[in-house]
Amino acid sequence: MADLHTLIRDQPEDVLELIAKSMDVRANEPAMRAICARYMGAIPRVNDLRVLEIGCGNGAATAHVLEYVEPRELVGVDPSEAFIRMARERYADRTGIRFEVGDAVDTGEPDASFDLVIAHTVFSHLPDPATALHEAYRVLKPGGRLVVFDGDYATNTVALFAGDPLQTAMEVALRNLAHDPYVMRRLSALAREVGFEVEPLDAHGYVQTTSPDYLLTLLARGVGAGANAGEMGQDLVEGFVSEALARVEAGTFYGAILFLSLGALKPA
């Protein structure tokens, strides 16, 4: 099945609105804020930092980059014209920020022009992560840093017991919302091949029980996309969504994602 994000240019306005809403929900959750504070806050400060954010979407995670990395200048690129329009509107009052339509494999930015390239939950949607790493290497200054953050989505779980039927909804969501749930496991080796000096992966646990807003939108969007792809009918979509909501109501919901961050240096 195809990942909606990988095919972002083909999505209708209502699907883009739902994805944008989901980005905002996730970026604003305390758990994701804490994760961003930790991994972005650990990025060494450089004077007059120039940052390129790959796959910036509607600018939801850009707010964290601005807060925790404090760049002098930030350029955000995303293939979706609609998301770029939303990001431009969101930061219309800020100076030192621009958003451009661009792809991870072809950012349109000059060689050796950034101190930091950052991608927050983007690489799992890329059909060609190796070429995206080459592009990041090209636009980084010598001594510049690449930071890639994404889910190790193959480990996602909402199961309360072995064979829990709700886990099937998560599998449907993964099939339809992530191009490569395993990419973070291969990224260190891929980045080394490109010439980066790669740091150890850092792990960030994300567990939601009482107010699992992002996991609920992920499940609902995922099974909806599964239905659109012909995997099931609307009754089952509604069944999965109401089961998840009933668990939240009963206080029994459990959902977990392991996120990983990778730091890699372009040799000086």
Ligand X SMILES: C[S@@+](CC[C@H](N)C(=O)[O-])C[C@H]1O[C@@H](n2cnc3c(N)ncnc32)[C@H](O)[C@@H]1O
The per-residue DSSP string of 239-258 comes to HHHHHHHHHHHHT---EEEE
Neighbouring C-beta atoms of residue 203, cutoff 10 Å: 10
Residue 110 or residue 163: which is nearer to ligand X going by CB?
Answer: 110
Nearer to ligand X, 119 or 264 (CB): 119
Task: Please say which residue, 103 or 180, places its beta carbon nearer to ligand X.
Answer: 103
Helix (H) or strand (E) segment spanning residue 177 = helix 166-177
Q: Give the pair of three-digit tokens for residue 70.
A: 């404090």
Beta carbons within 10 angstroms of residue 241's beta carbon: 16
Find the shortest distance in angstroms from Cβ 247 to ligand X: 24
Distance (Å, whole) CA 231 – CA 59: 32
Residue 155 per-residue DSSP state: G
Please answer whether residues 231 and 171 qualify as being in contact, where contact means their C-beta atoms are separated by less than 8 angstroms. Answer: no
**Smallest distance, ligand X to C-beta of residue 59, A:** 7
Burial of 69 (0-12, 13-18, 19+ CB in 10 A): buried
Which residue, 6 or 209, is less far from ligand X as judged by CB? Answer: 6
Nearer to ligand X, 31 or 247 (CB): 31
Q: At closest approach, how far in Å is the CB of 262 from ligand X?
A: 15
Shortest separation between residue 10's beta carbon and ligand X, angstroms? 11
Contact residues for ligand X, defined by CB under 6 A: 5-6, 8, 23, 27, 54-57, 60-61, 78-80, 83, 103-104, 120-122, 125-126
Cα Rg of the chain (Å, integer): 18
What is the nearest approach in angstroms of ligand X to the Cβ of residue 249? Answer: 27
Describe the crossing of helices 62-69 and 30-41 by its angle, rounded to 10 degrees: 50
37 or 160, CB closer to ligand X?
A: 37
Residue 165, SS3 per DSSP: coil
What single DSSP character describes residue 35?
H
Q: Which is nearer to ligand X, 27 or 139 (CB)?
A: 27
How many CB atoms within 10 Å of residue 193?
11
CB of 194 to ligand X, least distance (A): 17
Give the nearest distance from C-beta 41 to ligand X in angstroms: 17
The residue nearest ligand X at its CB is 57
